[in-house]
Structure 1
Amino acid sequence: MPPSRFAVPAEVPGLAARRIAADILDGVLHKQRTLDDQLDGPGAHPGLKALADRDRALMRRLVSTILRRLGTLGHLLSRLLDRGVPTDAPRAQSALLIGAAQILWMDVPDHAAVDLSVRLVQSDRRASKYAGLVNAVLRRCAREGQPLIDEVKSQSLDIPPWLSKRWIAHYGEATAREMALAIGHEPSLDLTVKSDAPQWATRLHGEVLPSGTVRTLLQGSVTMLPGFSEGQWWVQDAAAALPARLFGEVKGKTIADLCAAPGGKTAQLAHAGARVTAVDRSPARMMRLRDNLARLGLQAESVVTDATEWPGGGAGFDGVLVDAPCTSTGTIRRHPDVAWLRQETEIAALAALQQRLLQKAVTLLRPGGTLVYCTCSLEPEEGEQQIAALLAAEPNLRRAPVEASEVAGLAEIITADGDLRTLPCHLPHADPRLGGLDGFYAARLVKS
C-alpha cells in the first residue's frame, strides 16, 4: 500500500532533544525559571515524557554545558557575529548556543551539530529567517572557535561579574579562579549510603571519599541504579552530608530539622537513631521528603509550616539544624542555572530570613542543646557574618569549634574560628569530574 500523502514526516533523530533543550534554555535565560522546575514535578516540560533515556541524557548535558560555559559562549559569539546575537528571535540564540556547545565541548560531529541547529531555527516562525546566519556562524565556530576560547581561558567569564568580584574580595584572586575552574566541570554523582560504602562503590563503579560518601560517574536515571529501590542510599553532595555529622552521637536525641525538604539531612539523622521532627513550609517538597523516607525505610515526624512561626511543641530539643534558604551560590557546579538566575540584591532579604530562623532555633533549643547552622552559599553575609551577629546578640550561646577528626581529617575545610567552609575547588582529583565539593558553610553552637 503506498504511503499516504498526508503522512507526518519522521522526526530527525536528536532534533526533539535539542528542541526541548532550547525551550528549557529559554525558560532559564528569559523567563527566570529554574532547571529543577522545568525538569521535574508539575512544571516539567511536557515533551520530556516522550524522550528516550538517551535523548533525555543528551538534552540535560546540552543545557548544563551551555549554562556552565555561558560567559565563554557569549564571548565567542560576539567575535563571530558582526551585529551580535539576534534579539528578536530567542530560538536563534538558543540554536547558536546549542550548536557551539556541541562543536566545542561535546562528542558530536561538527556537521551534525550545524545541521540540527539549522533545523531548529527553520522550525520556528520568528527564527527561520536566521537559518543562513546560524549555518555560517557555526561553520566558522568549527574552524575558528577553539583558538578564540583559548584566548580567554585564564578569565573567569563563566561566573557572573558581580559574583566573581565578591569571591575575589572574600577568598582572594587565586582561590576564586580555582573555584571557577572547578565549577566548569560536570560533577559526579554523590551518594550517602546506609552501610558498607566500599561494597556500594564497587557495585556503582565509583570510589569512597574520605568522608564516607560514595562518588560515581554513572549517568542516566538515578532510580535505575542498584540499591535505589531497596533504599540503600540517597543522593547528597559530599559537602551537604557534613553538617548533620556535627551533632555527634544522636541516638535517642530529639532534633528539629528546620527547612528540611527534600530530606537528605533528615535521613542522616534518622538513620543515626535520632528522633527527628522535619519542618518545611512547602507541602510539595514535604511530600517528596516523606516519599524519600518511605523508600529508605526511615521515620521522622513531619510538620508543614513556616519554621519561623512554629511553636515547637513543648520541651526544648536536644539539637536544632537550620539548613537555611540562601542564594545557593555554592551549588553552581551541580545547578549551573543558579549563576544566571540569582542577583546580588537578593542577598539582603535572604540574610534577614536566615537571621529570623536562627532566632527561632535558639528558642527551640534546651539548655545544653546544640544548634547547627548551614547554608549552601559562598557569600559571607549568609554564613560567617550571620554567626558573628548571633553570638553578639545571644550571650547564652557559645561556638563549639569543629575538629578535623570529625570531618575525616579534612583540615582545609575548617576556618580559623572552627567553622566549616567547603569550596568547589576542595577535594581535588586527577580526574576533575571526580573532584570538588559544593560550597557549604556550617557552624556549631551550644546553648548554656
Structure 2
Amino acid sequence: MTSKPRKSKSPSRKQQTQTAKNSSARATAIDILLGRQTANTPVDGFFNKLTTQLSPRDRGFAKTLVYGVLRQKQYLDFIIEQFSKHPLKKMKPRTLVTLETGVYQLLFLDRIPPSAAVHATIDTLKDAGQPRWLQGFANGILRNVTRKKDALPTPEQAQTKGYPILNHPGWMIDRWQHQFGKKKSEDICRLNNTEPLLTLRVNTRVMPRGELVTAFTQQNIEAVNCTHSNLGIHLPSYTGMVTDLPGFPQGAFQVQDESAQLATVLLGSLHDKNRILDGCAGLGGKTSHLAQLVADHGEIIAVEPDQRRANLLLENLTRLQLNQQTTIVQSSLEAFAATRPQGFDAILLDVPCSGTGVIRRHPDIRWNRCPSDIAELQKNQIQLLTIGASLLNPGGILVYATCSMEPEEDEENIARFLAATPNYSIVDARTLLPATAHCFVDAQGLFKPLPTPTNDGFFAAALQYAPAL
C-alpha cells in the first residue's frame, strides 16, 4: 500500500453474493491467526488444517486476510488505537484479531464494500458467542475507521514516537540496522510488507522456457524471463491458483524464487557427477532442480526426516516426472550418515534456519522468532555441515545454503567450519554464476543477495574438498 486507500466501488450483485460466501473464510482466518498467536508456531500448519473445507476461492480469501494482517499488524494496531478508548494490551485476543482483520479489509481490500466487510466481520464475533456489547464495541470502531479512512496516514506515513511503523519486532530492526544501515533495513522491512512476486523454475525436461512463456501469453498471463536464472519466469500480475496455470499438471514448472534457483547452480555442472546428495530436502524445490540437471546416469539421494514433507516431496517429483533417478530417504542426516553410505560427488545442504530472508513469503516469521533462536539454529547448522562434509568425495563440491540474512547462520558458520576443516576451501561463486548475478557475491566469493522486488534474501557458499596428499 503506497498511497491512500481508494474508495470502494458500489457492490454488484455478484460481489454481494460473494461477500456472503466469504463470511466463513473470515471466521477461518481469525481462527488461524488466533492459533498461530497462541502456539507461536508457523502459520502454514494452522492454515492447512483449518481451510480443508473451504472452496478454493474462500481459501484464497482466507490466505489474503491471514497474510495481510501478519504483514501489517503494527500498522493495523496503530489505526485501532486511534479509535479505541480501551487499551489494546487489555483486549482479549479474539477481539483484537477480529478488529485487525476488519481494519485490514477496510484499508487494503478496495473490492470489498465497506459496509459488507464490517457486517461480515462482526458476524464472526456473533458466531463465536461473543457478548452483544463487545459486538457493538467492535462495530463502532470499524464504522469509525470507514468514515475517516481517507484522512488516515498510510503505512509509509504512520509513525509512533517519531519512528516509522515497519511491522517488524524492534530487536530485528536493530539487528538489521547494525548490519545494513538505517535506510537499507527500512527498505527491507517495507518490502517484506508487500506480497511477493510469483516466480517459477521451468522444468526443461518437459518443455523449454520459451514454449512455457508462449503458453502463458496465449492465456493473457503476463510472463517475464528472470534476469539471472536461465530457467526462471516471473508472473508479475497473476493472482490465481498456481494449479490453474498452463503446464502445471504436466510438470512443466516448479514454484521457486530466483535466489533459490541460483543456489543450486553453485554445485556446477552435474553431468559428470554420479552421486548427488540433498541432505535437507524438505518439499523438494532444490531436489527437483538437481534431478532436472543431473545426467541420465546420475543418482540423487534426498534425505528428509519428516513423513509429511517426504510424502509431499514424492508428489512433487512425480508431478515433475523427475522421480526416476531420485531416492527419498526418510531419516535425519545424522542417522543416514551412520549407515556409512558410499561417498557423494556433490552435496547440497539447505539447512533449517531463521528464515529472515523470506519474511515477505512467510510473514509470521517476524513474530515467531526471538533473538535466542539464532544461536540454537547455529549449533544445528554447524553439526549438519560437519556431517555433510564427511560424506563428500575428494574433489567434490558441497553447497551450504540458508534463507537467512543473519551472519551467525551464514558467513560465521562458514568461517568456523573452515577453521576446523582445513581441507575445504571456498569456491568463488562468480566462477559458477551468470555474470548478471555477480552483484550478489561478496569479496569472499559468498552468494549473499538481500531481498529485492524480484529476489528473496539468501545465502550460499560453495565449498570444495581437496584432501592433503
TM-score between both structures, scaled by the size of structure 2: 0.86
Matches of 2:395 and 2:326, distance apart in 1:
23
* Runs of 5+ consecutive residues of structure 2 not aligned to the other structure: 1-18
Task: Tell me the CA shift for residue 373 of structure 1.
Answer: 0.3
Partner of 1:292: 316
> Once the two structures are superposed, what CA deviation does each residue of 1:178-226 show, in whole Å capped at 9, x if it has no partner?
1112112111221111132233234332211111311113233322221
Task: Tell me the CA shift for residue 329 of structure 1.
Answer: 1.3
Partner of 2:129: 125
Within 5 Å, give how 1:259-338 maps onto structure 2. 259-273=280-294, 274-298=298-322, 299-311=325-337, 313-338=340-365
Partner of 1:364: 391
Are 1:158 and 2:182 matched, yes or no? no
Runs of 4+ with >4 A deviation: none
Matches of 2:268 and 2:431, distance apart in 1:
13
Call closer, same or farther: CA 1:354–1:128 in 2, change over 3 Å: farther
Within 5 Å, give how 1:397-412 maps onto structure 2. 397-403=424-430, 406-407=433-434, 409-412=436-439
Is the 8 Å Cα contact of residues 166 and 186 (structure 2) preserved in structure 1?
A: no
Are 1:387 and 2:414 matched, yes or no? yes
Moved more, 109-118 or 253-262: 109-118
Is the 8 Å Cα contact of residues 325 and 375 (structure 1) preserved in structure 2?
A: yes
Are 1:342 and 2:351 matched, yes or no? no
Is the 8 Å Cα contact of residues 117 and 134 (structure 1) preserved in structure 2?
A: no
Are 1:377 and 2:377 matched, yes or no? no
Are 1:240 and 2:228 matched, yes or no? no
Partner of 1:73: 76
Are 1:352 and 2:379 matched, yes or no? yes
Aligned length: 425
Within 5 Å, give how 1:119-268 maps onto structure 2. 119-126=123-130, 128-145=132-149, 147-149=152-154, 151-152=157-158, 155-195=164-204, 196-204=208-216, 205=221, 206-210=223-227, 211-212=229-230, 213-216=232-235, 217-253=237-273, 254-268=275-289
Query: Structure 1 counterpart of 2:210, which letter?
Result: P
Instruction: State the SS of the aligned residue for 2:96.
Output: helix
Matches of 1:129 and 1:100, distance apart in 2:
19
Call closer, same or farther: CA 1:13–1:121 in 2, change over 3 Å: same
Is the 8 Å Cα contact of residues 186 and 333 (structure 1) preserved in structure 2?
A: yes
34, 37, 54: which is aligned to 1:29?
Answer: 37
Call closer, same or farther: CA 1:393–1:405 in 2, change over 3 Å: closer
Task: Tell me the CA shift for residue 340 of structure 1.
Answer: 1.0
Partner of 2:16: none
Partner of 1:441: 459
TM-score between both structures, scaled by the size of structure 1: 0.90
Is the 8 Å Cα contact of residues 268 and 432 (structure 2) preserved in structure 1?
A: no
Matches of 1:202 and 1:177, distance apart in 2:
38
Task: Tell me the CA shift for residue 74 of structure 1.
Answer: 1.7
Task: Tell me the CA shift for residue 88 of structure 1.
Answer: 5.6
Partner of 1:17: 25
Determine what percentage of the aligned residue pairs are the same residue: 33
Instruction: State the SS of the aligned residue for 1:278.
Output: strand
Matches of 2:139 and 2:341, distance apart in 1:
68
* Runs of 5+ consecutive residues of structure 1 not aligned to the other structure: 1-10, 426-434
Call closer, same or farther: CA 1:447–1:183 in 2, change over 3 Å: same
Matches of 1:314 and 1:188, distance apart in 2:
40
